[in-house]
């Protein structure tokens, strides 16, 4: 990024950048698929999904008028968002529901910026969202996870040429779209293997009377639909 003053920086942020060629967009999608499908890379990259997941809970909690207490991210890639308010009702239902669909929806929002060739803007909006989330983190691992993710995005956006920024942005977007699906299958597998009343699906079951498995199916349908739309927008 060439700007030196604050005004120059923001002018550079919202400039348009040329999209990479179609073959490179496809290649970044394949790489993202490998990251999601292979256990080793997924174990590390899943922290990004957890950040988006808990961020979704937090945002909807605030929008529904709940008082947000804090967010904790754990080294096993689990997380928890604590808010205060009515323990039932539509606000609570939407807050709990938001987690598993947020990564996919964030990926879809990223596509809209990419289609407008606002690649640097996508990276800096991501940085600002991470900075806002950092204010709510209440444990050391969570701080390290959010700061580390933000640092990677910042370094790419500040020091890398536009071509590298484009590759990174498309890889990040593909990852969110694809990564939204796998945790839903992991959720159901965990519910079968080790049932817990604290999973999002089982909390929704208590709040609505609708079985937890039905909520898992709904999570999956939403994320698969978003993935299909994302593939269509990016490739066709």
| Domain-wise residue ranges, the chain | 20-235
Q: pTM of the predicted model, to two decimals?
A: 0.94
Element (H, E) at 80: strand 79-84
Pairing of strands 79-84, 67-73: antiparallel
Across 62-210, the runs of DSSP E, i.e. the strands, are 67-73, 79-84
Q: Tell me the two tokens of residue 199.
A: 């999973």
Alpha-carbon span 207 to 89, nearest angstrom: 8
pLDDT in the model for residue 16: 78
Q: What would the mean pLDDT of 17-30 be, rounded to a whole number?
A: 93
Q: Which two tokens stand for residue 56?
A: 């979704």
Instruction: Please tell me what DSSP assigns to residue 71.
Output: E
φ and ψ at residue 41, rounded to 5 degrees: -60, -40
Confidence of residue 17 (pLDDT cuts 50, 70, 90): confident
**pLDDT given at position 36:** 98
Q: CA-based angle 116:27:168, to the nearest 5?
A: 55
CA distance 224 to 207: 25
Measure CA of the first residue to CA of the last residue in the chain; give whole Å: 30
pLDDT tens for 137-192 read: 999 999 999 999 999 999 999 999 989 999 999 999 999 999 999 999 999 999 99
pLDDT for the residue numbered 195: 87
* Burial 187-212, CB ≥16 within 10 A → b, else e: bbeebeeeeeeebbbbbbbebeeeeb
Q: Determine the Cα angle at 232 with ends 227 and 234, to 5°.
A: 90
- Region for residue 65 given its phi and psi (left: phi exceeds 0; alpha: psi -120 to 50; beta: otherwise): left
What are 95's two structure tokens? 């807050």
Summarize pLDDT for 110-120 with one digit per residue, the tens.
999 999 989 99
Give the integer Cα–Cα distance in Å for 30 and 182: 16
pLDDT at 15: 73
The answer to whether 177 touches 226, Cβ cutoff 8 Å, is yes
């Amino acid at each position: 990024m060439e700007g030196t003053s604050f005004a120059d920086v923001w002018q550079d942020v919202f400039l348009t950048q040329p999209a990479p060629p179609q073959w490179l967009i496809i290649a970044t999608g394949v790489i993202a698929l490998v990251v999601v499908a292979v256990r080793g890379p997924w174990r590390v990259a899943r922290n990004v999904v957890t950040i988006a997941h808990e961020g979704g809970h937090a945002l909807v909690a605030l929008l529904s008028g709940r008082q947000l207490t804090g967010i904790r991210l754990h080294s096993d890639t689990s997380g928890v968002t604590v808010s205060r308010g009515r323990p039932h009702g539509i606000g609570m239902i939407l807050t709990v529901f938001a987690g598993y669909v947020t990564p996919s929806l964030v990926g879809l929002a990223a596509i809209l910026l990419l289609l407008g060739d606002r690649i640097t803007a996508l990276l800096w909006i991501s940085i600002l969202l991470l900075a806002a989330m950092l204010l709510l983190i209440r444990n050391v691992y969570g701080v390290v996870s959010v700061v580390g993710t933000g640092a990677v995005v910042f370094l790419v956006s500040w020091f890398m040429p536009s071509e590298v920024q484009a590759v990174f942005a498309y890889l990040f977007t593909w990852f969110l779209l694809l990564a939204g699906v796998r945790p839903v299958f992991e959720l159901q597998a965990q519910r079968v293997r080790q049932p817990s009343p604290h999973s999002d699906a089982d909390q929704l079951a208590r709040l609505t009377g609708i079985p937890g498995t039905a909520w898992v199916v709904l999570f999956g349908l939403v994320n698969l639909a978003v993935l299909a739309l994302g593939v269509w927008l990016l490739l066709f």
